[in-house]
Amino acid sequence: MDHAADAQRTDLMTLTRFVLNEQSKHPEARGDLTILLSHIVLGCKFVCAAVNKAGLAKLIGLAGDTNIQGEEQKKLDVLSNEVFIKALCSSGRANVLVSEENETEIYVETSRRGRYCVVFDPLDGSSNIDCGVSIGTIFGIYMLKDGKAGVVSDVLRPGKEMVAAGYCLYGSSCMLVLSIGNGVHGFTLDPALGEFILTHPVMRVPRKGKIYSVNEGNAKHWDEPTKKYVEIAKFPTGGSVPKSLRYIGSMVADVHRTLLYGGIFMYPADKKSPNGKLRLLYEVFPMAYLVEQAGGQAFTGKERALDVVPKKIHERSPIFLGSFEDVEEIKTLYHASGLL
């Protein structure tokens, strides 16, 4: 028995320990965010277990209903949504919740209300459930303004006002990527310990990447700057190497790869979806927050993504995010086109 290895294994930086360490840097902190995050982590573990046994438990397939977006709900969508709503309500630290699966915002009962608002997509990429492609949970957290009761306007705020954001990727391993405003850190679930372990400290998106990620099936509907960018990516001049196309169709998986390897993830507005397709509050904002914290950029085709002020909870938005220089190139094309 390797006692030295076992001793080393006891000094792991777990997600709980990491968040507590960050909390200790702020003497005024009451631990509310720490408690809220621990309930989100519990929800992620539950959903991870459900995803892993979905086929055996007959959790794949359609649940026979549609969500507010008009998309057919999968059984795992419904389960995941219930799990996160219950986890957040039971934390005693949440106040207003917005889920992709619910038509209206959810207010935690008065006796259990806290001072945070949570926006989340309980199971992003659910159209990929049945074929085993990586899917995930996305979340963002706002703090209530002092002395205010929770109302919908508390979540209709720019993404730059979030105090934390993250996603949990359910794939070959379960990985939770989190920022609480001090950089981006990745934690991998150790199934034997049941704990998320810090495996990717201080994640930084490369300044320039070799990958572009976009659904080219929509190419005929794109505006000119997007068409031009993809054309340059495929047929660069001056002896440059073409970029590689990688597109999974699950935002969590595509953004995760972009964070690790660099490049650009794009879901532009087009003639078919003039306002974009991805939801601003619980898809665009959390991912833009993470990418900026990791040294990248996020742009809507008109402005910095985190500066947009949402008008409704299920508002959609175009998005270009990833490596700083790659996003700068698409911004230059928009400026040159006169569309800005």
User: Measured between alpha carbons, how far is 142 from 282 in angstroms, rounded to an integer?
Assistant: 12
- For the segment 25-42, what is each residue's pLDDT rounded down to a tens digit? 887 778 999 999 999 999
Report how far residue 196's alpha carbon sits from residue 12's, in angstroms, rounded to the nearest whole number: 10
Length of the chain in residues, anyone? Answer: 340
In the predicted model, is pLDDT for residue 243 greater than 90?
yes
The candidate with the shortest Cα–Cα distance to 290, out of 270, 332, 319, is 319
CA angle 168, 174, 175 (to 5 degrees): 55
pLDDT of residue 73: 57
Q: What is the pLDDT of residue 246?
A: 97
Q: Can you tell me which residue has the tokens 């002395």?
A: 147
The SS3 call for residue 309 is coil
- Interval 175-229: pLDDT, tens: 999 999 999 999 999 999 999 999 999 999 999 999 999 999 999 999 999 999 9
Residue 1 banded pLDDT, cuts 50, 70, 90: very low
121, 279 Cβ separation under 8 angstroms: yes
Contacts of 179 (CB under 8 A, 6+ apart): 164, 165, 166, 185, 289, 290, 293, 294
Q: pLDDT value at position 129?
A: 76
Position 169 scores a pLDDT of 97
Report the pLDDT value the prediction gives residue 4, as an integer from 0 to 100.
53
Q: What percent of the chain has pLDDT over 70?
A: 90
- Averaged pLDDT, 252-274: 96
DSSP H helices in 166-223: none
- Which two tokens mark 89? 């309500």
pTM of the model: 0.92
Q: What percent of the chain has pLDDT over 90?
A: 77
The tokens describing 310, both together, are: 């949402």
Q: Summarize pLDDT for 252-262 with one digit per residue, the tens.
A: 999 999 999 99
Better pLDDT: 78 or 266:
266
Mean pLDDT, residues 63-85: 77
CA–CA–CA angle 31, 139, 182 (5° rounding): 55
Identity at 264, one-letter amino acid code: I
What domains sit in the chain, N to C, each tagged with a CATH number?
Answer: 15-202 (3.30.540.10), 211-337 (3.40.190.80)
Higher pLDDT among residues 9 and 51, named by residue: 51
Q: Which region, left, alpha or beta, applies to residue 58 given φ > 0 means left and ψ of -120 to 50 means alpha?
A: left
Amino acid at 271: K
Q: Can you tell me which residue has the tokens 């959903």?
A: 47
Burial annotation 257-278 (CB, 10 A radius, 16+ → b, else e): bbbbbbbbbbbbbbeeeeebbb
Asked if residue 274 has pLDDT above 60, the reply is yes
Nearest to 230 by CA among 107, 326, 150: 326
Q: Please report how many Cα atoms fall inside a 13 Å half-sphere around the Cα of residue 310, on the Cβ side.
A: 28
pLDDT tens, 280-311? 999 999 999 999 999 999 999 999 999 999 99
Mean pLDDT of the chain: 91
Choose among 121, 93, 117: nearest CA to 106.
117
